[in-house]
Structure formats: C-alpha cells, structure tokens
Amino acid sequence: MFDFPAFCHINEYQNRGYRNLRQMLLLSEPLTLWAPSSVLLGESNVAVDDILWLLDSGRIRIVGRERWLTSESFRNAHPFGPSARWVPRIDDEIKRLLDEDKSRPPRERRVIEAPPEDGYEWADSHMDQHREAIRRLYEVYRRTPRQIPGGTMDTIARNLTKRTIAHSEVAIVVKTMLRDARNHGMAFKISDADIAMHLSRVDLGFMQILADQAGVPSLVRPRGEVQSIAAPMGELALQTIEVLRRLDEFAGGRAPDLRRFLDGSGRADLLKWMRRTCDSLKLIAPAELDGAVLHHLRHQLEHEKFHDSILAAWRRSRLDAAAGVMGAVTSIADAAFGAPSLWAAGGFGAIVFSGTRTILRNLGYIPADFDGPQWPFLYALGAKTTRRRRDRLLQFLKLLGKG
C-alpha cells in the first residue's frame, strides 16, 4: 500500500472533525489521531465495527496521555464533559492495544502513550529567548482574534479566569498560544506523520503566524522536506477532503464500502495522486492555492488520454480469434461463401465481438485504458473510467468551480 502517514488533532474540530473522519482515512495510511473522543467516534461517519477493524489493522493509530488512554474514572470526570466519557466497546480495545504494543518499535504501535506535557515550561523558555515576539503575538490576539484557533481561544479564556500560569494578561495570552503550539507540535512529532490534517484555514494561518511572528518551527514537518512547505500541503489536504465530500454528492449520497475501497486499487491510486499533487504544488504560497485541487483534477480528467483505437481493437481481435490472421481470414471467407464451420463462426464472432467492444468503448459505455486518475470513479461509482462517466464527472466538477 502506498504510504501517506497523516496526523489530526481531531478534538480541536469537535463534531466537524468526526464528520470528516472517513475522508481523512481515505487520504491517510495510517491516520494518527490525538486522544480522540470515543463518544464522538461512535457518532462519526465511520461505523464502530469499521473503527475497531481500522484500529486493529493499524490504519488508525491513537496517541494520548497515559490517563486518557487507561483511566475510566479520569475520563468520566474530565472537564471536557460528556464527550470525554469512557466508551467500553472502543476504549477497552484501545487500552488492550496499548498494552499489547508496548514491546513493538514505536512506528509499529497502534496506540502510543505520549510523555507528560511540557508546553507551559517550554513557553516560558521561549518567551525569555524571544522577548520581541510577546508583543507581536499579543497584538494578533487583541486585533485579529479570529486568526487564532477556537481551542486555543477557549484555553486562553480559562487561563485568564484562573490566572494561575502568569500574572499579566499579556503573559497569559502569549504563554497559552505558545503552549498549544508546543503540545500540538510534539504530538505531531510522536505520530511520525508526513502531514497534519487541518480542517480549518484558521489553523493553517495560525501556524504561519507562529513561524513568522514568534520563531516557532512549523507544526508540520514533512519527512525530508523544508518546513516552509507545510502550510501548502495542509491546504491541499483540506481541499482534497472537500472534493471527496462532493464526490459523495456525485454518487447520490452513497458512500462506498470503506473496507473494500481501502483494500482496492482505487485507494492506492488516490494516495499516489495525493502525493504527486502535493509534490507538484508544494512550493506555491497557500494564499495562491484557492481551488487548486479541484482545478488540477478537472484538468487531468479533461486532458489525459483514453487508449482504445480501432487499430488496437483489430489487433486484439486477431488474438481473440485464437487462430491468428489465417483463422480470421478463413472465418470471414467461410461466412461469406458457404456454410461456416463452428471453428469459423467462432473466429468471425471474435472479430465481431472485439469490434463491437471497441465501438462501445469509443462511445463511452465500457471502460477503456485512461492515463488520468481512476480513483474518483472507483470511489464514487465503484467502476472504472469510461468516456461517458468522465464527461458526467467533468460536468459536475465544473459546476462546483462556478459555485
């Protein structure tokens, strides 16, 4: 299977994160989730039976603090409320996998216990070393709070009420912003992923603010790549998630069988396509990537070639006739000048069938070899590309671009 490891701090997005779980799984191999809510997993767009199968097979990996992963009493009393509640069917399995995998190398573990957090301590040190960044980050909070993710804003509000991590408002705000950046970055590092699935452009923008204004390294570090490409890759992943959601509409709301698609050729084609798309567009600034994935897919579907000429079909027909050129000629002669033998009828029938097949391909009724991506058709329709299917999908995607 083509490898495309991804990470998502899914609780940051609350219900929206779990509504997009299926789409994130389609784009990730594996998908690592930070301390997910088992209550919301049970309400997501992936069936619980499939979630358990994905956990056992390592296609979903879990990272979290020890008490979150192992303590039912801690979870049931958690300040997050009912969504943090322990769900035996899911959490007992997560706990079992944690114990079972402790002897495995980190990259092979399905459930990973993260070390105790050091975000506030790290933030103190970073603020001491980057005094000029304190004013800049506080100005972001004061002037443009919408540029800060909702989860971080909620934590800032709680810390301002308690006033336990610092005395001044400026220190509390900046320390909380840096703490969240550190914790998210460390969670991503532990996941050993190539890309973080950000379901909000606010998150992508905040990541850039931290890098530009405070010298905080990118929260996503694609393996072997420079940090500056993290935001473009995150934007492309976000756009592809939206395209997948729209393909569900194209399919008439019929989501594909998840297990079958994940194990099929369409999934491998999707991951390869995603990797190539990121590679080809990764150096473009995020602000210039609006609609890039949709445009890229439309362009490929419109300009890549089908391969099924009459000449190619005639050559196939001679092979299909089993007796080569002489058999084909003999069968035609027998059919034209006398009562054809069974052998001749078979040869002639093979030619007729092959030629008919080519006509049907050229008219777009049956699949033909196609240089472009197959995954949209295998995902949405459960079938390979034909010209008619390609034309239908192109029309649908063009209408999306106008919306």
DSSP secondary structure letters along 175-218:
HHHHHHHHHHHHHHHHHT-SEE--S-HHHHHHHHHHHHHH-PPP
Report H helices in 114-263.
119-129, 131-143, 150-162, 169-191, 201-214, 230-250, 258-262
pTM of the model: 0.77
Kindly list the distances between the CA atom of residue 255 and the CA atoms of 46, 56, 114, 239, 245, in Å, as whole numbers in the listed order.
Answer: 10, 22, 34, 19, 9
> What amino acid is encoded at 322 in this protein?
A
Element (H, E) at 39: helix 38-42
Angle at 235 between CA 212 and CA 135, to 5 degrees: 20
Tokens of 31: 């998908």
CA-nearest of 374, 30, 382, 322 to 197 is 30
Please list the residues that pair with 4 across neighbouring strands. 29
Rounded to whole angstroms, the Cα distance separating 302 from 113 reads 47
Please report the pLDDT score of residue 57 as a whole number. 94
Rounded to whole angstroms, the Cα distance separating 183 from 199 reads 18
Cβ neighbourhood burial of 145 (10 Å; 0-12, 13-18, 19+): exposed
Rounded to whole angstroms, the Cα distance separating 38 from 229 reads 33
* Three state DSSP letters for 317-382: HHHHCCCHHHHHHHHHHHHHHCCCCHHHHHHHHHHHHHHHHHHHHHHCCCCCEECCCCHHHHHHCC
* Strand residues in 84-134 grouped as ranges (E): 111-114
From first to last of its 403 residues, the chain has per-residue pLDDT tens of 447 889 999 988 888 899 999 999 999 989 999 999 999 999 999 999 999 999 999 999 999 999 999 999 999 999 888 999 999 999 999 999 999 999 999 889 999 999 998 999 999 998 988 888 899 999 999 999 999 988 899 999 999 999 998 889 999 999 999 998 888 888 888 888 888 888 887 887 787 777 776 666 554 444 444 344 456 777 888 889 999 989 988 888 777 788 989 999 999 999 989 888 888 877 777 677 888 899 989 999 888 776 654 445 445 545 544 444 444 444 333 434 344 444 344 443 444 444 444 444 444 443 446 778 899 999 988 888 888 889 999 999 988 866 5
Cβ neighbourhood burial of 117 (10 Å; 0-12, 13-18, 19+): middle
Alpha carbon 171 to its chain's center: 37
SS3 31: strand
Please report the pLDDT score of residue 215 as a whole number. 63
CA-nearest of 364, 370, 369, 371 to 386 is 364
Angle at 282 between CA 277 and CA 286, to 5 degrees: 110
Domain boundaries, the chain: 1-112, 310-363
**pLDDT tens track for 238-265:** 889 999 989 988 888 777 788 989 999 9
**pLDDT tens track for 349-396:** 444 444 444 444 444 443 446 778 899 999 988 888 888 889 999 999
Rounded to whole angstroms, the Cα distance separating 347 from 318 reads 8
Q: In what order do the strands lie in the sheet with 60-65?
A: 111-114, 60-65, 31-34, 6-8, 195-196
